[in-house]
Amino acid sequence: MTAVTQTRWEVGGEFHSPVETPRPFHPWPRPAVWYALGRHAVEALVDLLRPRTLWLPDYFCHEVAVGWEGLADVRVYEDDPRWEEPRWETLHAAPGDMVVAVDYFGVRGEAGWEERSGAGAFVLVEDHSHDPFSPLAVASSADFAFSSLRKTLPVPDGAILWSPRGLDLPPQPREPADGSELKLAAMLLKGRYLANGGDEGLKERFRRLQIEGEERLARTSVAAASPAAREAVIGGAPLPWRVRRADNALHLLGSLSGLQTAEPLFEEWPAGAAPLGVVLLFESHEVRDRVRETLREAGVYCPVHWPNERPASERVRDLSARVLTIPTDWRYSAADMERVASLLHEAGTR
């Protein structure tokens, strides 16, 4: 299939298909187990290792965390993408407990997990969903590491679990997840929509398929990555995409100086990192929502990492109410970033 030539301008939203995959590829860690969803990796590890307690950061993807509550006794420790490391005094993991550590937006430095988890203190599971090839992921010596791939790669589903320490992995599930074919159909329809200038009927169809596909995926128990997902990433992940993402983030940040109503959550990252996007922290929830809506109307779709609907600390609620992620991935050029920056300047004027 030839890649889509885009005639409709928009930024963000789920990936489309088909796309060209530029070389060189970054190879995947081996051995590895391939799941439909990132959450399946944790579920399979819990099934294998039966921890008494599963520790999660208090700032995390609400939807996923809720699903894990039935698996083990879930407890939270304090962590925040604005900090260099978690508040260690809130993590009381005992030997055999499993602790999920998140590399927020793929830009965290070495936070000190290795010393703390060593000598069997607890089972460390790193979440590299925001960049499976961050310097931290590549150099990891955690017990286990996983990444949900559809955040950074054009796959309908898919996640990888590996053990940097070479520990035994759970068995590879065989059956793909219900819902992944709907997601694939949505990606193909979105490709058509972008190529033919944006037919609203097509948009409605691919959005419906995306939503229904995600809902079905979320209902499946541990399943394998679909053949389409495996096929799309079989040779590895294109390195130029990470480079583009980092370049775009730098470019966008450079064009956002003087923005009145928001400031970047981070402006620097470790050498070799490629942030998931530019994350802005707005002065208030209302301004965040207003700017997000204005951008949406202009065709720029920005996710919130993450909405919070549960009881949480004031810090977690406040952060979740004011953040917005501006996509900077491989689909976009420097000119696209400038257009997004001017939309943000216009929308973000008090």
Ligand X SMILES: Cc1ncc(COP(=O)(O)O)c(C=O)c1O
Largest CA distance in the chain: 58
Pick between residue 155 and residue 343 the one whose CB is nearest to ligand X: 155
Cβ neighbours of 94 (radius 10 Å): 11
Pick between residue 37 and residue 326 the one whose CB is nearest to ligand X: 37
Residue 44 binds to ligand X (criterion: CB under 6 A): no
Residue 245 binds to ligand X (criterion: CB under 6 A): no
| Total site size for ligand X, rule CB under 6 A | 11
Give dist(CA 335, CA 340) in Å, integer: 9
Among 38, 238, 275, 277, binds ligand X (CB under 6 A): 38
Residue 148 binds to ligand X (criterion: CB under 6 A): yes
Pick between residue 130 and residue 322 the one whose CB is nearest to ligand X: 130
Pick between residue 133 and residue 193 the one whose CB is nearest to ligand X: 133
Token output for 95:
């030997």
The pattern of x and - marking residues 152 through 191 that bind ligand X according to CB under 6 A reads: -------x--------------------------------
Rounded least distance, CB 300 to ligand X, Å: 20
Token output for 2:
């030839």
**145 DSSP 8-state letter:** E
Give dist(CA 255, CA 53) in Å, integer: 45
- Residues present in the chain in total: 350
Pick between residue 218 and residue 321 the one whose CB is nearest to ligand X: 218
Among 33, 37, 44, 107, binds ligand X (CB under 6 A): 37
Phi first, then psi, for residue 77 (nearest 5°) are -115, 160
Rounded least distance, CB 145 to ligand X, Å: 12
Token output for 195:
């190529």
Residue at 77: amino acid letter: Y
Cβ neighbours of 260 (radius 10 Å): 11
For the chain, how big is the Rg over CA atoms in Å? 20
The pattern of x and - marking residues 104 through 143 that bind ligand X according to CB under 6 A reads: -----------------------x-xx-------------
Candidates 10-18, 33-41, 71-79, 320-328: pick the segment binding ligand X (CB under 6 A).
33-41
- Cβ contacts of 160 within 8 Å, gap of 6 or more: 28, 29, 32, 33, 34, 35, 41, 132, 146, 147, 149, 225
Residues that bind ligand X (CB under 6 A): 37-39, 61, 64, 102, 127, 129-130, 148, 159
